[in-house]
Amino acid sequence: MELRPYQRAAIESVYRYLREEDGNPVVCIPPAGGKTPILATIASDAVTRWDGRVLIVTHVRELVEQAVDKLRRVCPELPVGVFSAGLKRRDTEQPVIAASIQSIFRRACDLGRFDLIIIDECHLLPPDGEGMYQSFLAEARVINPLVRLIGLTATPFRMDSGLICGPDKLLNDICFEAGIRELIRDSYLCPLISKAGQQKADLSELHVRRGEFIASEVDAAMDQDDLVRSACAEIVEATRDRQAVLIFASGIDHGAHICSVLNRDHDIHCGFVCGETPSDKRAELLARFRGEPDGLLEREPLKYLCNVGVLTTGFDAPITDAIAILRPTNSPGLLVQMVGRGLRLHPDKHDTLILDFGGNIERHGPIDQINAGSISQSEARGEAPAKECPICHSVIAAGYSTCPDCGYEFPPPERQKHEAKASLVGVLSDQHTDTAYEVLDVSYHVHTKRGADEDAPKTMRVEYRIGLTHHVSEWVCIEHTGYARQKATAWWEDRSPDPFPDSAQHAVDIAEAGGLAWPAQITIREWPGRQWPEVIAAKLGTVPEACETSAADSLCNETIDLNDLPF
């Protein structure tokens, strides 16, 4: 078995940690990054080099079956048993046992002594001190107090409690982590691309419980006929040249609605799997989606497959080259897992298209920068979010309909609860989107940084209106020095024949007097993970003649009534 450099580094990090530390380590490898060769090598070394015994445990039957299959392919000489009620196997004697936690959590004594327990998809460990994993491990430590744990995951954090590892938890430290962008760069993962869209999602009426949106509210919000039809039309158009399209729905009714619209409006058969789908039917649909033959017979291929909550972790279909996410999630780990279904390499695909209809990338940022530090405690507790006034930029509670500082009236929330079009935000941090907009109106304001001293340098804030309620701001650093001043000078010279103003207020006076060229169009650049877009270019009208708006010029040009003088 030929290990990739980062896989070898991960294994060496585990061994070094086990030698030098008393805790239990976690290895973080992105979805499709190849955790199984790492797992298989550690298990093989434990058995053949150190005469140990290994338990590989996970949470669902499919992952147990998948782990056993890959272990036998990677290490065919390694005796592997299976203990899983769903697979109708209860092996107990082999040096390596793969098991589902549901089948063994009360049977530690039946399985005997283990020296090493490897927990696959360990982010699913419960956050408190109870649960099936804890019950099993308590008994396993009675049999062997020296048993060590190793966790494998792509997402080492939970929304409701942050990192899965810590001094007082079952798993204690991350000993190795590989990044998504680096593995894409080194051609170990498939590149990801996003498709542009326009409308923003409004999730203001959804509530959060234990870190995630309440499922019933999400399903009700998403399952609206006009939105489903619009999203399906875009999916069909965007995936005409794609081979395997995986769709994530918010609930069973929503998923059935998606399949119905694809069939009725587009004559497309879309498979559907959920927790209630019979196992034989699910196996058939997944095999058709993967393009696997049925013995000597060829199955009818299945290009579109919709699922609800069953294909997010561990599902392996390398041919998947398009993913449509028609559900919002407050969990960054779930977002990584869903997008990760398209990261596997396949000889017949060159990239994977991500269509995000749930505003998830805007919510969490690019997937290669998601980490536990990006999860705020207010999000985890489900507190009401704040919003920023587009006029005065005061940060106020989300429930305000009028800004208490400047009187701006916020438009009423739109009733659509997910994107009618896929998000325009890049799925990776090095991707950005440039969009040109016609300018409907422009205004100029003196801006002081919030919390700054009275004598701090001020800027001129240029407010472009590019939609009915859509505004974009640009800050011109009139009173600053250095590079900021150089940029402001160049900006001014492009728009006005007047000398560079001596203050932000002076600049606003000239602008309001008509002394700046009209910006007919602006181009804004949006980066994933950044809240505000950047104005990078403008198409300007004719530069006007110079204005005389300095204090001295104003006095000279005014007609003064000597009777009004106070002396």
Three-state secondary structure string covering 167-181: CCCCCCEEEEECCHH
What are the beta bridge partners of residue 195?
A: none
Which pLDDT tens digit goes with each residue over 417-434?
Answer: 455 666 666 666 666 677
pLDDT at 291: 86
Distance CA 423, CA 194 (A): 8
pLDDT at 160: 56
SS3 432: coil
Q: How confident is the model at residue 354 (pLDDT cuts 50, 70, 90)?
A: very high
Q: How confident is the model at residue 358 (pLDDT cuts 50, 70, 90)?
A: confident
Distance CA 350, CA 332 (A): 26
Q: Greater confidence, 200 or 111?
A: 111
φ/ψ of 486, rounded to 5, equals -60, -45
Q: Is the confidence at residue 381, as pLDDT, over 90? A: no
Which pLDDT tens digit goes with each residue over 468-492?
Answer: 667 888 989 999 988 888 999 999 9
Q: Is the confidence at residue 365, as pLDDT, over 50? A: yes
- CB neighbours of 26 closer than 8 A, spacing ≥ 6? 122, 150, 151, 152, 153, 156, 164, 165, 171, 173, 174, 175
Nearest to 537 by CA among 424, 435, 426, 430: 435
Share of the chain above pLDDT 90, in %: 45
* Mean pLDDT score across all residues of the chain: 82
Q: Is the confidence at residue 99, as pLDDT, over 80? A: yes
- Cα 303 to Cα 306, 310, 344, 487: the distances in Å are 10, 18, 17, 51
pLDDT at 309: 86
Q: How confident is the model at residue 497 (pLDDT cuts 50, 70, 90)?
A: very high
Please give the average per-residue pLDDT across 521-548, as a whole number: 82
HSE, CB side, 13 Å, CA atoms: give it for residue 197. 28
pLDDT at 221: 74
Lowest model confidence (mean pLDDT) among 227-241, 332-346, 458-472: 458-472
Q: How confident is the model at residue 503 (pLDDT cuts 50, 70, 90)?
A: very high
Which pLDDT tens digit goes with each residue over 269-279?
Answer: 999 999 889 98
Q: How confident is the model at residue 63 (pLDDT cuts 50, 70, 90)?
A: confident
Share of the chain above pLDDT 70, in %: 79
Lowest model confidence (mean pLDDT) among 86-100, 164-178, 286-300: 286-300
What are the beta bridge partners of residue 185?
A: none
Q: How confident is the model at residue 409 (pLDDT cuts 50, 70, 90)?
A: low
Q: Greater confidence, 313 or 248?
A: 248
pLDDT at 385: 42
Q: Which long-range contacts (CB under 8 A, 24 or more apart) does 164-171 make?
A: 164/26, 164/122, 164/123, 164/125, 164/127, 165/26, 167/23, 170/24, 170/125, 170/133, 170/134, 170/137, 171/23, 171/24, 171/25, 171/26, 171/119, 171/122, 171/125
pLDDT at 21: 93
CB 513 within 8 A of CB 549: yes
Q: Is the confidence at residue 364, as pLDDT, over 60? A: yes
Q: Is the confidence at residue 525, as pLDDT, over 50? A: yes
Nearest to 159 by CA among 335, 383, 375: 375
* Residue 443 CB neighbours (<10 A): 14
The listed range with the strongest mean pLDDT (96-110, 212-226, 405-419, 429-443) is: 96-110
Complete domains list, the chain, with CATH = 5-178 (3.40.50.300), 192-397 (3.40.50.300), 433-552 (no CATH)
Q: Is the confidence at residue 551, as pLDDT, over 60? A: no
Q: Is the confidence at residue 501, as pLDDT, over 90? A: yes
Tokens 């041919």 — which residue?
Answer: 319
Q: How confident is the model at residue 7 (pLDDT cuts 50, 70, 90)?
A: very high
Q: DSSP code of 372? A: G
CB 194 within 8 A of CB 423: yes
HSE, CB side, 13 Å, CA atoms: give it for residue 509. 16
Tokens 């955790």 — which residue?
Answer: 35
pLDDT at 377: 41
CB 157 within 8 A of CB 164: yes
Which pLDDT tens digit goes with each residue over 134-154?
Answer: 889 889 999 999 999 999 998
- Cα 61 to Cα 278, 448, 545: the distances in Å are 13, 59, 76
pLDDT at 565: 40
Give the sheet arrangement for strand 352-356, strand by strand: 192-194, 352-356, 322-325, 245-248, 304-307, 270-273
Pairing of strands 459-465, 441-447: antiparallel
Distance CA 42, CA 237 (A): 45
Please give the average per-residue pLDDT across 364-391, as a whole number: 54
Nearest to 178 by CA among 11, 24, 330: 11
Lowest model confidence (mean pLDDT) among 143-157, 209-223, 417-431, 434-448: 417-431
- Cα 83 to Cα 97, 110, 124, 142: the distances in Å are 7, 11, 19, 20
Q: Is the confidence at residue 374, as pLDDT, over 50? A: no
Could you tell me where the beta strands, DSSP code E, fall in 85-226?
Answer: 89-90, 96-100, 116-120, 148-153, 157-158, 162-163, 173-177, 192-194, 208-209, 212-213
Q: Greater confidence, 146 or 448?
A: 146
